[in-house]
Structure 1
Amino acid sequence: MTLKYLIQKEFTQIRRNSFLPRLIIIFPIVIMCVSPWVMNMEVKNIVIDVVDNDHSTRSQQLVHDIEANRYFIFHGQQPTYKAALDNIEHSKSDMVIVIPQNYSKDLTMGREPQILIASNAVNGTKGAIGSIYLSLVVSSNAIPVAATIQSKVSTLYLYNKHLNFKLFMIPALFAIVMMLMTGFLPTLNIVSEKETGTIEQINVTPVSKWTFILAKLIPYWLIAAFIITVCLVLAWAVYGITSVGSLALIYLLAMLLALFFSSFGLIISNYSDTMQQAIFVMWFFVVILLLLSGLFTPTRSMPSLAYLTTYINPVSYFIEAIRTVFIRGGDFSSIAHQVVALLCIGLFMGGWAVQSYKKNR
């Protein structure tokens, strides 16, 4: 019964706060409705200048192919390479292609013309991928036979047939929403009671540390269930994307991640003296966990030392498992390793949250 009343107290505090209920509702809606449109790794709108030193029908066909390509924005033809490079230096264009003299003649004679492609690689991803796009356009124009053969090749994409980047990112956004909501709110919980002095009223009661911490955790697990429901509904209503796998597994993964972050938030709150200190410490760990989780880049692409951190990073386990269930339709056996890892890490942090709470009686 004591636990019941303590949980009621937590919900009463949340309800009386004019900001928190609105944050719990609005935050997942904003993240799900905005982020999938902007968190897109596909490279588009590459501004390109062309220097045509051949002025032949074949070279003009190449210019038209570049102009018609949906990945490029044709900035115009420049008289010299120096003029085109000056546009790159002044951020007016991203790439330059120089078509040499005798381009058409070399193709007719069976020789390989040397085409220069210069790319602004300050943004390495845009420069590298843009150069690949442009090389494919040049190859298709220079070797039409190869382009014809390439067009006959049939490619089968598994799990994401239309290469929809939103399908890849939406499950990962669940992790961002969960870590921010179930992480920061508990972080501010106990430390706020320290600042207001209400924690002393609990300290003089016979309530055990386990009961007190459990009463702090359960409301955020219920909030996590609400948040993941909102995210799933928005993914279906806004983008028409639904989970291929079991919804029960998605809720299981969400609860395990909420167990970790709510416990971790209470640990920071227990050790912090002010809300400002708690926020900065939590933000420090959230950024590290997020960047090393594999949300944006594959974990196998990391340096070996950085990759080793994924073995203790719960966000990495969650993202890998949620994508397996949501996109591939994996069953429990497919994510058993991640579930066990999340459970062990969550229980460890929960025990730490209880031990770190100093109850003076």
Structure 2
Amino acid sequence: MRNIFILVRKEFLQIFRNRQLLPFMTVLPVIQVILLTFAANYEIKNLRLGIWDLDQSTSAQQLIHKFTGAKFFQEKALISNQKKADELLMKDEVDLVLVIPKDFEKAIHSSNNPAIQFQINALNNAKAGIVQNYASAITQDFLNEKRGNSTLLASPKIIPITNYWYNPTLNYKTIMLPGIVAEVMTLIIILICALNVVREREIGTIEQLNVTPLKKHEFILGKLIPFWVIGHFIFWAGIALGKIFFNIPMVGSLGLLELFLAIFLFVPLGIGLFISTAVETQQQALFTSFFFIILFILMCGLFTPVETMPDWAQYINQLNPLKYFVEVNRLILLKGSGLKEIYPFIAKMIIYGIGINLLAIWRFKKTN
């Protein structure tokens, strides 16, 4: 234990003396957590609306007012023909052209279903889907109101009442911040762990350590423990920032979250150590780390739901540790899940951590 303590102390001294590494572990996470939480927002407002009214009726004007009164749309242009609509869509000056056909008002007060056309700018397919959902919801709400007030078509109505559990205000910052904190911490831990060991090899100090009485497990623990501690600092600093700046809820047990974090950290540390055994230079370590980190981030479910991925991608994603951390973060902080719900994730991380670290140790034995 004394040898491990001495090596850990030596690692911390190196870290604090490294003027390039220290800001990377302190200032950079703060900036990333704050900026990414503001930027990663899927709520789209101020959509540009083009209006083509062929009916010129009271009902048509009420529908238009319904659109322009919503927080999502702002009136951009009045359109009188298809050529003008095509021109605005081609120039990317409108996101939606609302086409109200002739006899729209008559259709509302008759047994016919009124037809409305949405011409949507689908250059960005994700945005187009949101536009279509907003427009459909506003139109359906308008028709329900009109028919509910009609003496001709008065009939009992089913009025749905929606409750949004775990995020009642649908605040994107609430669901994004726990994932962003997990992503930033994992990125930094993999990078600094991989670069640190390779740097020792480049400057020749690792050969000096190999000839000392240090045993192999003491050397590896001495290398990993400082970054395990740093991982805790980065994560909890990010959670504290989330509470201060965005008031994210903390429904579940922080002790349970700490337990999962303590186990999880051995996975990115093992990945970083394994990368360091497979490369020769810090540049190679940097590129290799980013290769895995980008895959982890894109497939972790932070920006796109895992369930929408193809089956083969979901199978591969079982090897993505960040996927589990993002999910556990949200389960504990937002849903208040307990040990019964988190236990399967803990078991997977224990197996993952043991496996990747044993592989890294085996590789380290062969290359050093």
What amino acid maps onto 1:248 in structure 2? G
TM-score between both structures, scaled by the size of structure 2: 0.92
Partner of residue 260 from structure 2, selected from 220, 237, 253:
253
3-state SS of 2:265 partner: helix
The equivalent residue for 2:18 is: 17
* Counterpart Cα distance in 1 of 2:269 and 2:250: 25
Deviation per CA, 1:86-124, whole angstroms, max 9, x where unpaired?
111111111111111222233234433322111122211
Whether 2:307 is the aligned partner of 1:306: answer no
Q: Which moved more, 1:38-47 or 1:273-282?
A: 38-47
Task: State the SS of the aligned residue for 1:317.
Answer: helix
Structure 1 pair 136–146 and aligned structure 2 pair: CA distance change class (3 A): farther
Could you tell me which amino acid in structure 2 is paired with residue 265 of structure 1?
Answer: G
Q: Cα deviations across residues 50-108 of structure 1 (Å, max 9, x unaligned)?
A: 11112222212222221111111221211112211211111111111111122223323
Partner of 2:166: 159
Cα separation, 2, equivalents of 1:49 and 1:79: 10
Q: Alpha-carbon deviations, 1:159-194, whole Å to 9, x = none?
A: 222222222112111221121111100110111122
- Cα pair distance change 1:203/1:359, threshold 3 Å: farther
Question: What is residue 128 of structure 2 aligned with on the other side?
Answer: 127
Q: What is the Cα deviation at residue 33 of structure 1?
A: 1.5
State the Cα deviation string for residues 212-263 of structure 1 (Å, max 9, x = none).
Answer: 1111100011001111221121111111224211111212222223211111
Equivalent of 1:234 in 237, 241, 248 = 241
Contact 2:182-2:235 at 8 Å conserved across structures: no
| Residue matched to 2:356 | 349
Equivalent position of 2:152 in the other structure: none
3-state SS of the aligned residue for 1:48? strand
CA–CA distance in structure 2, aligned partners of residues 49 and 71 of structure 1: 13
1:285 aligns with 2:286: no
1:297 is matched with 304
TM-score by length of structure 1 reads 0.94
2:234 maps to a residue whose letter is: I
Question: 2:153 maps to which residue?
Answer: none
The answer for unaligned runs of 5 or more in structure 1 is: none
Q: Give, in angstroms, the shift of residue 207 of structure 1.
A: 1.6
Tell me the distance in 1 between the aligned counterparts of 2:248 and 2:142: 38
Once residues 225 and 191 of structure 1 are traced to their aligned partners in structure 2, the CA distance between those partners, rounded to angstroms, is: 23
Alignment of 1:111 onto 2:112: yes
The corresponding residue for 1:2 is 3
Distance in 2, matches of 1:78 and 1:49, equals 7
Aligned to 1:234, what secondary structure does the other structure show?
A: helix
| 8 Å CA contact 2:109, 2:147 repeated in 1 | no
SS in 2 for 1:308: helix
**Cα distance between partner residues in 2 of 1:349 and 1:150:** 58
Residue 360 of structure 1: how far off its partner (Å): 8.1
Match of 1:31 in 2: 32
Worse overlay, 251-260 or 266-275: 251-260
Q: Are the counterparts in 2 of residues 213 and 353 from structure 1 also a CA contact under 8 Å?
A: no
Structure 2: how far apart are the matches of 1:320 and 1:63?
41
CA offsets 1:9-35 (integer angstroms, 9 cap, x no match): 111111111122222111221122122
Shift of 1:341: 0.2
Task: Using the aligned pairs only, state the percent identity.
Answer: 33
| Farther-moved stretch of structure 1 (97-106 vs 134-143) | 134-143
Contact 1:253 1:322 in 2 (8 A): no
SS in 1 for 2:336: coil
**Counterparts of 1:90 and 1:249 in 2: how far apart (Å)?**
53
RMSD of aligned alpha carbons: 2.0
Instruction: Name which of 192, 197, 203 aligns with 2:204.
Output: 197
Partner SS state of residue 335, structure 2: coil
- 2:277–2:367 CA contact under 8 A, matched in 1: no
- Partners of 2:222 and 2:147 lie apart in 1 by 67
Q: Does 1:213 align with 2:207?
A: no
Q: Against the structure 1 CA distance between its residues 360 and 224, is the aligned structure 2 distance closer, same or farther, given a 3 Å change threshold?
A: closer
**Contact 1:95 1:117 (C-alpha < 8 Å) held by counterparts:** yes
